[in-house]
């Protein structure tokens, strides 16, 4: 299986990594097209930051940010995912051309989202989530993080099925960084084969997240770790996720991840008859 690359297009003023860079629709559209040229297989467009501590955004504001971008990218032939926790935004984005709804809350933030997506042909990403970004770390209490994440993901899958969404349209995301502290994220990543064993495609998003910066820095919060170093760490975790069988990885730096996956692919599957020329 070839692991796909989902490029991130944040149309927000306050995302943790690139907030404000692409809040203008034309700039966001150009960035999305550039990510596709760099090797992204699909693009995830979001109008509400889910960084730690972020406050919710009204659906009307979210839609004003994302719909022009979704429509333009879809018309350009891009496979678009809408990153939203709101049912109304999901429906509007699908009408504008989005083919995937990526809900980091797994349908918990808006009780109407699952039934809304069921009325469309869109695929749905169900993220593992324990509550709003404003206090997500307060909920990072686990007896066995892997067992509990898998159980809670399975519950969201069951809820989606009950809402009328066929299993073939579902994708699960273990929610790296969401309601999980440093070491807990590594525990879940090591258990990716078990998550894949749930029987659904798996999306993994580690890009530039705090747990990577904490690993790379003596600074407890990792604030001093450069974007370049975070992207390198992201590329490594993306390769490891691909090796575990992830369907797709969600990243900011597409070219670094594309290069890393291409190198890993050549390492894992050498071509018969190659002479190993330098």
108-137 pLDDT, tens digit per residue, is 999 999 999 999 999 999 999 998 776 777
**Per the residue annotation, which of 36, 180, 250, 258 is the catalytic one?**
250
Enter the pTM of the model: 0.90
Asked if 169 is an active-site residue, the reply is no
**Per the residue annotation, which of 209, 210, 230, 258 is the catalytic one?**
209
DSSP H helical segments within the chain, as ranges? 25-38, 59-75, 87-96, 113-118, 145-162, 182-190, 192-196, 210-216, 227-244, 254-268
Contact partners, residue 50, CB within 8 Å, separation at least 6: 83, 104, 133, 178
Asked if 147 is an active-site residue, the reply is no
Residue 278, pLDDT above cutoff 70: no
Give the model's confidence band at 57: pLDDT under 50 very low, under 70 low, under 90 confident, else very high: confident
**Residues β-bridged to residue 43:** 7, 80
d(C-alpha 59, C-alpha 57), whole Å: 6
The pLDDT tens digits for 196-231 are 999 999 999 999 998 998 998 855 455 567 888 999
Q: Could you tell me the CA-to-CA distances from 244 to 25, 118, 255, 256 in Å, in that order?
A: 36, 30, 21, 19
């Amino acid at each position: 299986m070839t692991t796909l690359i989902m490029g991130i297009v944040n149309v927000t003023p306050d995302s943790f990594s690139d907030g404000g860079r692409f809040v203008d629709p034309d700039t966001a559209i150009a960035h999305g097209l550039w990510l596709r040229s760099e090797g992204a297989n699909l693009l995830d467009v979001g109008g509400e930051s889910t960084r730690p501590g972020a406050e919710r955004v009204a659906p009307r504001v979210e839609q004003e940010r994302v719909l022009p971008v979704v429509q333009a990218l879809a018309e350009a032939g891009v496979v678009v995912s809408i990153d939203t926790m709101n049912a109304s935004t999901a429906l509007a984005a699908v009408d504008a051309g989005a083919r995937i709804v990526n809900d980091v809350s797994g349908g918990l933030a808006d009780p109407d989202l699952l039934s809304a997506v069921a009325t469309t042909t869109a695929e749905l990403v169900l993220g593992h989530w324990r509550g709003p970004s404003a206090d997500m770390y307060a909920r990072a209490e686990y007896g066995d993080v892997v067992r509990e994440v898998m159980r809670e993901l399975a519950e969201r899958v069951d809820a989606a099925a009950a809402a009328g969404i066929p299993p073939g349209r579902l994708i699960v995301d273990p929610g790296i960084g969401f309601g999980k502290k440093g070491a807990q994220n590594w525990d879940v990543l090591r258990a990716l084969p078990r998550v894949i064993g749930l029987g659904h495609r798996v999306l993994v998003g580690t890009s530039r997240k705090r747990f990577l910066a904490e690993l790379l820095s003596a600074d407890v919060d990792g604030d001093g770790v450069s974007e370049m170093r975070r992207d390198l760490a992201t590329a490594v975790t993306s390769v490891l996720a691909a090796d575990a069988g992830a369907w797709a990885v969600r990243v900011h730096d597409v070219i670094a991840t594309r290069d890393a996956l291409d190198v890993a692919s050549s390492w894992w599957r050498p071509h018969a008859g190659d002479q190993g020329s330098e």
